[in-house]
């Protein structure tokens, strides 16, 4: 199920916020511990690749959409969730934008602060609106 894969992916991205890179040993151990299917591991690896390739672009987008909390000041959990969903929304045509945004809000509700789901939803709604206007 993709929701479980997204949670695993969130954990990998979250851990990378503290090390500056994805730890392959941690990633593979997490895939094994959480029994991530091969197709879901491929999805996770694809998203991680998109995030690595477009990191500067994503940082600029987050900074422009969140005046009070620039990307560098965001909670690492919120930033991780946003990076995951931004990669899906902008670079994965097979994933509906609304599904990605809803899953992001669900992960934020589970792993971050009380107000994070609203914060994440607001940033992603703005991103989706801008994407449709291009």
Query: 72-127: per-residue pLDDT in tens?
Result: 678 999 999 999 999 999 999 999 999 999 999 999 999 998 899 999 999 999 99
CA distance 85 to 89: 6
Higher-confidence position of 2 and 1: 2
Q: How confident is the model at residue 134 (pLDDT cuts 50, 70, 90)?
A: low
Ranges of each domain in the chain: 2-132
Q: How confident is the model at residue 133 (pLDDT cuts 50, 70, 90)?
A: confident
Q: Minimal CA–CA distance to 51: which of 32, 25, 27?
A: 27
H or E, element range at 133:
none
Name the CATH superfamily for 2-132.
NusB-like (1.10.940.10)
CA distance 50 to 93: 13
Find the mean pLDDT for residues 54-66. 90
Structure tokens, 68 = 């009070």
Please tell me the predicted confidence (pLDDT) of residue 5: 95
CB 50 within 8 A of CB 91: yes
Cα 46 to the center of its chain, rounded Å: 12
Find the mean pLDDT for residues 58-70. 82
Work out the number of other CB atoms within 10 angstroms of the CB of residue 19: 9
CA distance 129 to 14: 26
Its pTM stands at: 0.93
């Amino acid at each position: 199920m993709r929701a479980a894969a997204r949670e695993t992916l969130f954990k990998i991205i979250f851990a990378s916020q503290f090390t500056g890179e994805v730890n392959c040993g941690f990633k593979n151990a997490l895939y094994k511990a959480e029994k991530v299917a091969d197709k879901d591991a491929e999805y996770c690896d694809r998203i991680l690749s998109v995030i690595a390739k477009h990191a500067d672009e994503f940082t600029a987008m987050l900074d422009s959409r969140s005046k009070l909390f620039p990307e560098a000041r965001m909670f690492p959990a919120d930033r991780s969730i946003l990076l995951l969903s931004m990669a899906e929304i902008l670079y994965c045509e097979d994933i509906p934008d609304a599904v990605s945004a809803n899953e992001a809000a669900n992960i934020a509700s589970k792993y971050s602060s009380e107000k994070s789901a609203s914060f994440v939803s607001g940033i992603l709604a703005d991103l989706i609106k801008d994407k449709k206007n291009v």
